[in-house]
Structure 1
Amino acid sequence: MAGAQAWLEKIRALPLARKVKIMNVCGGHERSITQAGLRGVLPDNVELVPGPGCPVCVCPEEDIYQAIQLALQDKVILVAFGDMLRVPVNVPKGEVRSLVEAQAAGADVRPIASPTEARKIALDNPGKPVVFFAAGFETTIAPVAAALAEGLPENLSILLSGRLTWPAVAMLLDSGTPGFDALVAPGHVATVMGPDEWRFVVDKHGLPTAVAGFLPESLLASFYSVLRQVADGKRFLDNCYLEVAHAAGNPTAQRLLAQTLDVVDANWRGIGIIPKSGYALKPEYAAWNARLKYPDHADPTRRRIGEMPPGCDCAKVVLGKLYPNQCRLYGKACTPRTPVGPCMVSDEGACRIWWSGGVREAAAD
């Protein structure tokens, strides 16, 4: 693969007749783009739009609320991926609004990095119930599926909030006003599910599409590919992450996902129900399903179709309708130290990424 400078020169040489908006779906891509300063070196007629690639940002409020109640009221050991601990929910002032606040209030809440840590904690505490709050996209949920297939300790259950990536993009495209002209598809998801999962963007919607890795060279190669498709009037799915994203993806991971989980309609915070966009444990794994073991805290009054806090524009940022610094709260009420919306919490959230990249003020009106 050519170096970053060579790809940049190729991009600058393209005869683009109009501005082209490229959506980069993945939060990891957005982080790489920002850290490498790629927006600042691309031609003025190329615009990069962050997309719905942050699982923490779209995790429904009711799931986070249930995790908090399990930790506080049922006295379980609640384990979750680190980013989830600081995501706030909408509750009256003075009530516990995040897992880290539940921890401060005396709940046993522990950050983990993998399902194997959840298993070890359960085995080390045989007389204590352990709940693994598992939020993530296909790449993160595949190891959860593997743990289920292998068999979990009796005292470990899973509160699953898994999502599939492509249905959110499909929803945007089906809306008729997607807000982008080309797509850079997530490399990590393609390593699991295969690049062909994104062929519908080309075949059904006629948009240039490329799968990218996370180094500047791969990202710039993907930008060049989709921009060249625009310039040439051709449309195809290009794989610019060949060294990792193989044509068939990871068949073992796909088999484990299909073996242990069902694909269901799912709520995305601030967005609503997206058909066939979530994972749920199959009935044969009911003994490890926290939603069934602890039904009292699936409080119907919390089901607000993923409502965001007042003034928070995270949902529009996730959908590529606004840039992070166009949110009404960005850099004002909402900062990484005092996050209001989930996009300012996660390392894959566009608001947190932009803030870390030095954008500290809201955009001018």
Structure 2
Amino acid sequence: MPWSEREFRRPRNAAALAEAIRGLTGPGRPLRLMEICGTHTMAIAKAGLRELLAPGVQLLSGPGCPVCVTPAGAIDGVLALSERPGLVIASYGDLLRVPGSVRGDTLLRRKALGAAVLTVYSPLEAVEAAAQDPGRDYVFLGVGFETTAPGTAACLLEAAARGLANFSVLCLLKRTEPALRALLAAPDLAVDGFLCPGHVAAVTGAEAFRFLPEEYGLPAVVSGFEAGDILYSVWRLARMHAARRPGLENEYTRLVRPQGNPAARAAVDRVFLPAASVWRGLGEIPASGYALRPEFAPWDAARKFGFAPGPGAEVPGCRCGAVLRGACAPRACPLFGRACTPADPVGPCMVSAEGACAAAYQYGAPTEAAAAHGG
């Protein structure tokens, strides 16, 4: 192996590494690899790796953006919740700009109209805000994958320890493995391997993705987030695919361990139970979300306020659901760059800082950007 795990990160080795990947892929059907992490999506777009590796390798973006996979019906329910007097919605910033089933109707718009909406960078900020403002109810929107689940669990444990009756969590968290299984069952997906999310694996452990090679015969590499990380991971996937020996490899050894973070996993298990959850583009998937355990019912916003997600639907023309399944490239959406831009987004894939459409818009080649605008 010509690259050590230090050398592959050096920019001067990128060309040689890309050439090695080309040597493992043929001129016919490209090697189709999917990343399932929004940070990977942005890193790939920013570094121009799709263009560098084409035509032998095709990099697809999957359901790796937690804001993007939150369905329109859930957003509709949150917007209805924001209308309650004396209630404050606390959320990460990206979620404020995600529309429900009506274009332009977002938490940010509701805030401008007078709703109490608080932007936080940590769920513990919402706990502190509730402690300092006992006259109002605070609802933290718990969005994310296994990466953010431990922090949400920690805020619930803190609220319970302090007996904060005016704080609760609306749990919209997602679990990665059930979604991947549903994705692989979709008739419109053909994929040859996976770049597995390093952030998720830091919590769950690399072994959480062992099912991909063992049950589906697909190579999988847990990858870091620098361009060199991703190139090296693609090379390892291409090598396994060429040898027809699918396996699980951990490229991100500087952070990810086989069994993950025991303390984080214990906190999640203490607070949550697996539950069915609805994903944008994938529908309802059994055991793909989290529900609060019964002992945390006093801090469960869904029970406390009778939260009911609406039926919800994509805004007409929006193809975010297909983008999240890897069935549609962002630029193939008829709204991309025309009716849907970061300044005026139609769907969440253009809203989120980890969305595939936002990445394509921000880092696409100038000629592509012009074409997207009809130029």
- Per the TM alignment, residue 61 of structure 1 is displaced from its structure 2 partner at its CA by 2.1
Structure 2 counterpart of 1:163, from 167, 174, 185: 174
- Per the TM alignment, residue 214 of structure 1 is displaced from its structure 2 partner at its CA by 0.3
Structure 2 counterpart of 1:60, from 68, 71, 76: 71
- Contact 1:57/1:343 (8 A) holds in 2: yes
- Per the TM alignment, residue 66 of structure 1 is displaced from its structure 2 partner at its CA by 2.3
- Per the TM alignment, residue 43 of structure 1 is displaced from its structure 2 partner at its CA by 4.4
1:114-129 to 2 correspondences below 5 Å: 114-129=122-137
- Per the TM alignment, residue 116 of structure 1 is displaced from its structure 2 partner at its CA by 1.4
Alignment of 1:309 with 2:319, yes or no, is: no
- Contact 2:87/2:138 (8 A) holds in 1: yes
Partner of 2:308: 298
Partner of 2:18: 8
Alignment of 1:30 with 2:41, yes or no, is: yes
**Segment drifting more, 150-159 vs 50-59:** 150-159
Q: Provide, for residues 102-139 of structure 1, a one-character-per-residue CA deviation record: whole Å limited to 9, x for no partner.
A: 10001111111111111111112122111111111110
C-alpha RMSD over aligned residues: 1.8
**Segment drifting more, 242-251 vs 146-155:** 146-155
Partner of 1:329: 335
1:27-176 to 2 correspondences below 5 Å: 27-91=38-102, 97-152=105-160, 153-175=164-186
Normalization by structure 1: what TM-score?
Answer: 0.93
Give the % identical residues.
39
Structure 1 counterpart of 2:358, from 346, 352, 355: 352
Partner of 1:342: 348
**Distance (whole Å) between structure 1 residues aligned to residue 40 and residue 210 of structure 2:** 19
Structure 1 counterpart of 2:261, from 250, 258, 268: 250
**Distance (whole Å) between structure 1 residues aligned to residue 25 and residue 177 of structure 2:** 30
Letter of the 1:71 counterpart: S
**Distance (whole Å) between structure 2 residues aligned to residue 63 and residue 74 of structure 1:** 20
Please list every run of 5 or more consecutive structure 2 residues that lacks an aligned counterpart in the other structure. none
**Distance (whole Å) between structure 1 residues aligned to residue 295 and residue 215 of structure 2:** 36
**Segment drifting more, 69-78 vs 100-109:** 69-78
Give SS of 1:241's match: coil
**Distance (whole Å) between structure 2 residues aligned to residue 85 and residue 287 of structure 1:** 25
- Per the TM alignment, residue 206 of structure 1 is displaced from its structure 2 partner at its CA by 0.6
Alignment of 1:280 with 2:291, yes or no, is: yes
Give SS of 1:308's match: coil
- Contact 1:75/1:107 (8 A) holds in 2: no
Partner of 2:189: 178
- Per the TM alignment, residue 72 of structure 1 is displaced from its structure 2 partner at its CA by 2.0
**Distance (whole Å) between structure 2 residues aligned to residue 40 and residue 312 of structure 1:** 25
Compared CA separation, residues 176 and 321, structure 1 to 2 (3 A): closer
- Contact 1:326/1:363 (8 A) holds in 2: no
- Contact 2:221/2:233 (8 A) holds in 1: yes
- Contact 1:309/1:341 (8 A) holds in 2: yes
**Distance (whole Å) between structure 2 residues aligned to residue 11 and residue 117 of structure 1:** 45
**Distance (whole Å) between structure 2 residues aligned to residue 354 and residue 176 of structure 1:** 25
- Per the TM alignment, residue 175 of structure 1 is displaced from its structure 2 partner at its CA by 3.4
**Distance (whole Å) between structure 2 residues aligned to residue 245 and residue 139 of structure 1:** 12
**Distance (whole Å) between structure 2 residues aligned to residue 26 and residue 78 of structure 1:** 26
Give SS of 1:322's match: coil
Compared CA separation, residues 354 and 145, structure 1 to 2 (3 A): same
Structure 1 counterpart of 2:201, from 190, 198, 207: 190
**Distance (whole Å) between structure 2 residues aligned to residue 73 and residue 149 of structure 1:** 26
Structure 1 runs (4+) deviating above 6 angstroms are: none
**Distance (whole Å) between structure 1 residues aligned to residue 281 and residue 335 of structure 2:** 16
Letter of the 2:144 counterpart: G
Compared CA separation, residues 128 and 210, structure 1 to 2 (3 A): same
Normalization by structure 2: what TM-score?
Answer: 0.90
